[in-house]
A and B are shown apart, each in its own frame.
Chain A
């Protein structure tokens, strides 16, 4: 792999806090190595801003290895940028070339208000989980783990849904700001397992109800979420969610 350096123009959303209006600021960065990650490029820019006596750009990040779901930049019109199946922190500067202009915005969704600059409030996701995204089993209740055989394909499918990192890119890339992909991944993870059976109906009803309360939009099947999900969570989960929801409704489960 050949490495190269590049000079770039960045247009970044700056917003002091939730109460005030934000706007784009333009910055130049020089000698960015193609080996850097996108966030390392932001580190360089922030160091530069600090030395100029300005406030650095605030953004969420932690693991920097694509698993915690903290990073969340909308880059050139795409959630997490140009590479598919990739979080912002795993995007590398090889994706860009010398002279490029890169536009960076926070997630845009009513249910994700901006905290500062590129950082948004995603606690609505926690509240959706609180509404039923769990199996009610207190510590100490469990039987021997192998007493409950689970077919490998079921376990694998459940695992695939459970790999959602809760980043919110699905919401950010949806024109309706729907949280259906996130929600459906959790419903599928638990509905596919025998352990999840007891609460199967109430879970889906309560979680959907909470999603509506949080102000996420409805799903019109555009598929944008699946296309930009960094963990490639399948849109089939939404289909499963819908059928779980209908089944629950037929059996008379209502949100509590």
Chain B
């Protein structure tokens, strides 16, 4: 059933042999082939720009007012690449190995190896575009280390790496717009896929300003619509991030893989109250220099400064001496939750732990004083110099923290808590990034592919750009080469008419409910069910309850939601309602997938599956597969399993001790 189309041959040769043998479309034919790209974040912008450069006729869509605002802009920490510029033993194999291991042996070897292979090209391409990565005094690129790895392979631009990478891709995209190769549709939301003779041949989109539905034809459709973390209501995702594009594709036949794999990021600013609309990440790079601790005493109400050194529990350093504060995200997140649940949390909510820079300030300050020949500095001198270094490294993050919390992190330790951050699940794709629907592709966070059950930091940016710049230009050609005789299908074709009518009917139905509850309040309730029962810790019982609760919520939504305004013109509540309706259905599938996966793996902990000392216990014998769900009608799915074969890496229980 599921054919992942992994090329034969030795792992390190698969991608080159694929590229050598895949079909190619000649330049004259490319001009008559139309490609639709949904989403212009890193994955979509890089794909649209590269395909435009190749000569395809590209139409790209995003719901923001400009591609430059895609959620990718918010990525802070950095992007991995196997450049080995630091001469610290990095290699394509090591990056591949770390990513497979970080993903808890739930990703495809072939895809991850390809990702590691093209990682170096990404950095080259971005630098050529003018992305101002951080540099050393000698003019060479600088690297930092990131959670879960022991080499320095992360490229960065202060705490704004995603911004700089996206601006690079955006500029490349706008250049293609200027050249007439790409037509950009801002403030458009894709609301359905159009299928003709079993292939994806177009979309229905809503112009968010006029409210009008539009039909667009494409020989192929690429979904680059990002992740679905907002199913939890509170997450580090941008407010508009949603699942609608991929969910509509799912209803039209694309399998949804590993939906329950979500990443919980350990270092976010804690929730401050019911009004909270989103959570803010504090880059993981902070863990390079910050030490995480809680008081040794339960329910300690003293201020951080009043707790002496010997009464602090640096629990990560204690439990995981080899990696300390740099353990992978899942381990750090769970450990924080464990401490808070056990009553050691800090702050007013007690749902937080400290991230403390005092030691780093002293360490850096001493070094800096040494550099200027001051080998006997006063504590004040050390502090002044140390603070300057910390400011240079993390200034923008510290400022952001201060603005949000009203506390000065140069004076008091930050308070942090885990938050939903990234979704590893997504549409199932084969090696060519094609979904189970012919002609429908999925790139970036929206697909399920490369991170397994947990994503290592700095690897999503890498994947998005790998997919867009270096993978899809080859694999799409391999499909379209057989399509050069297909003429553009006129959008008055019955399938377009039918799809548009379905979308219009659904919108009218939503508008006609005229109930009493706001979209926002229903979304909040969904989020609470998901976080409590399908978040970091999961049980069979909780998940079973969650499914029933979500089904009830779905009924409530469709009978009592209140959407003001009209179908015509701009209606942000209607846009939101469309998205939340899809999140509710997705939520049910996530719980179903989580229930099926009765193992602790990657980002999530299945209470029933743990070792004697409370660590996560994977079950390779029964769950070493990708769970790809086929939609089979309301609340009904069929599970397809893609077995994962490890030919090169031998799975072992991860240990960071």
A residues apposed to B, CB below 8 Å: 1, 16-17, 33-37, 39-40, 43-44, 47, 49-51, 53-56, 58, 60-70, 83, 85-86, 90, 92, 94, 115-116, 119, 121-123, 125-126, 129-131, 133-146, 148-152, 155-156, 158-159, 162-163, 165-166, 189-190, 193, 195-196
Contact = CB atoms under 8 A, between A and B. Distances in A.
Contacts of A68: 64, 68-71, 73-74, 238
A68 B162 CA distance: 10
A145 B141 contact: yes
A42 B287 CA distance: 34
Interface stretch (B404-412, B552-560, B619-627): B404-412
A209 to B, nearest CB: 13
B256 to A, nearest CB: 25
Contacts of B68: 68-69, 126, 166
Nearest to A47: B518
Nearest to A64: B278
Contacts of B129: 134-135, 137, 195
A195 B128 contact: yes
Contact of A63 (B73, B158, B473): B73
A140 B125 CA distance: 7
A63 B71 contact: yes
A40 B69 contact: no
A189 B85 CA distance: 25
Interface of B: 46, 49-50, 53, 64-71, 73-74, 83, 85, 121, 123-130, 132-141, 157-158, 160, 163-164, 167, 170-172, 174-175, 177-178, 184, 186, 209, 238-240, 272-273, 275-278, 280-281, 399-400, 403-407, 469-470, 473, 518, 520-521, 562, 564-565, 569-570, 572-573
A92 B276 contact: no
Looking at B49, B127, B186, B280, which has the most chain A CB atoms within 10 Å of its CB?
B127
Given A135-B171, A145-B141, A70 B127 contact: no
Nearest to A128: B174
Given A123-B65, A139-B470, 8 more contacts: A1-B406, A51-B562, A68-B74, A70-B69, A139-B125, A139-B473, A150-B139, A158-B130
A147 to B, nearest CB: 9
A130 B65 contact: no
A138 B493 CA distance: 36
A162 B167 contact: yes
Given A40-B277, A68-B238, A159-B158, A90 B66 contact: no
Given A43-B275, A137-B128, A145-B123, A126 B406 contact: no
A134 B470 contact: no
A70 B163 CA distance: 13
B473 A33 contact: no
A123 B73 contact: no
Nearest to B66: A126
Contacts of B136: 152
A254 B412 CA distance: 56
A123 B69 CA distance: 12
A101 to B, nearest CB: 21
B132 A159 contact: yes
Closest 7 CB pairs of A and B: A149-B139, A134-B171, A142-B128, A142-B124, A159-B132, A1-B406, A130-B178
A17 B399 CA distance: 37
B422 to A, nearest CB: 15
A163 B160 contact: yes
Nearest to B519: A50
Contacts of B239: 61-64
A229 B126 CA distance: 27
Given A17-B569, A62-B239, A92-B404, A54 B278 contact: no
Nearest to B276: A40
A207 B209 CA distance: 27
A51 B569 CA distance: 21
B132 A136 contact: no
A55 B171 CA distance: 36
Contacts of A115: 209, 570
A155 B65 contact: no
A203 to B, nearest CB: 11
A50 B275 contact: no
Given A135-B171, A158-B132, A193-B132, A66 B573 contact: no
Nearest to B75: A67
A119 B74 CA distance: 21
Given A123-B66, A134-B175, A142 B121 contact: yes
17 contacts: A33-B272, A50-B564, A56-B573, A63-B73, A67-B73, A68-B238, A90-B400, A92-B406, A121-B65, A126-B67, A133-B174, A134-B130, A139-B46, A139-B49, A143-B124, A145-B124, A148-B127
B277 A67 contact: no
Contacts of B67: 126
A142 B406 contact: no
A62 B209 CA distance: 17
Contacts of A162: 132, 157, 164, 167
A193 B130 contact: yes
B178 A62 contact: no
Nearest to A130: B178
